[in-house]
Structure 1
Amino acid sequence: MATLSPHDALLIADIQNDFLPGGALGIRGADAVIPVLEAYLHRFETQGLPIFLTRDWHPPGHCSFREQGGPWPAHCVAGTPGSLPPEGFHTPPAAVVIYKAIEPDREAYSAFQDTLLHRHLHALGVRRLFIGGLATDYCVLNSVKDARRLGYDVRLLKDGIKAVDVQPGDGRRAEEEMIRLGAVPVTLEAMAA
């Protein structure tokens, strides 16, 4: 049972159109986690706890794009419809949006890489991070790794993540790695109201 406390914060990675089915880098079944993540958002918002949302915010010609020799199709180009959250996705007014991978020649899967997230969390006295979003095997995994390295207690939103699974089983392996690093899996159902 995970009861929320004043030192908790929610971090949701990359709920953006390009990562949803039909998007430039659509993840099969990713739309199924949206209602679950919205329920987590509602719970944190009603308790007045900090909420952070990350967005890939690539410049055109980003190094991760295939045209530049990277592994991915062009996606989440800053300000395009693909870089935005889906219509109707509730972003609480007090939520802080963290833009990442904004440098043309640097990939950044972690919410902490080249951002002010750690400073925000430190200033707010956050000790425990509840992390979910897209994708399990990239941005969620790397954000959890950095959060653990920085000393945060991490709760992995097991029902609020979805993997790319470039190689079958990547998502499962990423979950195992996060748990090995000390992240504790939780579900909305198991959280105390």
Structure 2
Amino acid sequence: MAAFKIDRADALIVVDPQNDFCPGGALGVPGGDEILPGINALAERFPLVVLTQDWHPPDHSSFASNHRGAMVYSTVEMPYGPQILWPDHCVQGTKGAQFHRDVLDGAARRAHLVIRKGTHRDIDSYSAFYENDHRTPTGLTGYLRDKGVKRCVFAGLAYDFCAAWSALDAVKVGLQAVILKDLSRAIALPIAEGGTTEDAVERDFREAGVRAIGSI
């Protein structure tokens, strides 16, 4: 594989480096804190850095606690499609929703823009570009176009959900997308057809033309 060269048309998108997605958090991803020093170092090399931040109201419809008798990680049908029910996490204004301390003086300090997502009670939002209806934009597409960005590099949490959906949507809006496996971590939920959510998104990456590489 050819060496990866960062240029002025690249943007680093750091996905949800928040307390609740790190070990000990409400929806902790195994090893989620281990990738943060590497993300900080990478942020110093990019001309443009964007962070995303899950930012849910306490009555968010993706929380299992807001569905009587529902189990965490079960799936329900929403108007926009299937929705996994999560533990309460990244509730607006809580410590869990804050950026992890290990990125505050690194990637967060370097950020040119923070995209808050999942703010509306009735719809979840994994992607940095669209809510889960795949129609309602966050505004990131226009911002990146105005900045002349041609390629997005993704790192963060979780590899198989918010980072993956963001990378796939980047391709849909006409950008090149690269996702860094060494600087991401997966939840890897089992799926009915076998394998895990990590396996499934890697198939999606291959079909969509997202490059999943180790590191740069």
Gaps of 5+ in 2: 68-83, 131-136
Deviations 1:44-68 (A, max 9, x none): 1xxxx11100000001110111122
* 2:116 matches 1:102: no
State the AA in 2 paired with 1:88.
Answer: D
Question: How far, CA to CA, are the matches of 1:99 and 1:151 in structure 2?
Answer: 22
Deviations 1:112-163 (A, max 9, x none): 1131111110110101000111111110111111111111111111211111
- Partner of 2:71 in structure 1? none
- Partner of 1:73 in structure 2? 87
- Partner of 1:63 in structure 2? 61
Kept after mapping to 2: 8 A contact 1:129/1:153? yes
Q: Secondary structure at the match of 1:155?
A: strand
Kept after mapping to 2: 8 A contact 1:57/1:100? yes
Give the drift of 1:185. 2.6
Q: Secondary structure at the match of 1:172?
A: helix
Alignment: residue pair count: 185
More off after superposition, 80-89 vs 12-21: 80-89
- Partner of 2:207 in structure 1? 180
Q: Secondary structure at the match of 2:152?
A: strand
Kept after mapping to 2: 8 A contact 1:11/1:53? yes
What percentage of aligned pairs have identical amino acids?
37
Q: Secondary structure at the match of 1:136?
A: coil
Match of 1:84 among 75, 95, 98: 98
> Would you tell me which structure has more helix in proportion to its own residues?
1
| Structure of greater Rg | 2
- Partner of 1:156 in structure 2? 179
Question: How far, CA to CA, are the matches of 2:203 and 2:35 in structure 1?
Answer: 20
Q: Secondary structure at the match of 1:78?
A: coil
* 2:169 matches 1:146: yes
More off after superposition, 12-21 vs 168-177: 168-177
Kept after mapping to 2: 8 A contact 1:2/1:186? no
- Partner of 2:144 in structure 1? 121
Structure-1-length-normalised TM-score: 0.90
Structure-2-length-normalised TM-score: 0.81
Question: How far, CA to CA, are the matches of 1:144 and 1:23 in structure 2?
Answer: 24
Query: RMSD across aligned C-alpha pairs, in angstroms?
Result: 1.5
Question: How far, CA to CA, are the matches of 1:25 and 1:158 in structure 2?
Answer: 20
